[in-house]
Amino acid sequence: MANLPSTKKTTTSTDVFDSYNTNESVTATTGEYDAVMGFFLQKTEGNSTIASSLTDTVIQIATNLGDSPMIIIDELAEYGLTDIQQSIISLLNQTRNDTSMLGFNKSQAPNNLVARNILS
Ranges 18-27, 73-82, 87-96, 104-113, most confident: 73-82
In a domain, 47, yes or no: yes
State residue 37's pLDDT score: 93
How far is 89 from 43, CA to CA, in rounded Å? 17
In this predicted model, what pLDDT tens digit does every residue of 23-33 receive, in sequence order?
666 678 889 99
- Find the domain containing 47 and state its range: 28-94
What is the DSSP-derived secondary structure letter of residue 19?
T
Instruction: Map residue 66 onto helix, strand or coil.
Output: coil
Number of domains comprising the chain: 1
| Proportion of the chain above pLDDT 90, given as a percent | 14
State residue 65's pLDDT score: 81
In a domain, 65, yes or no: yes
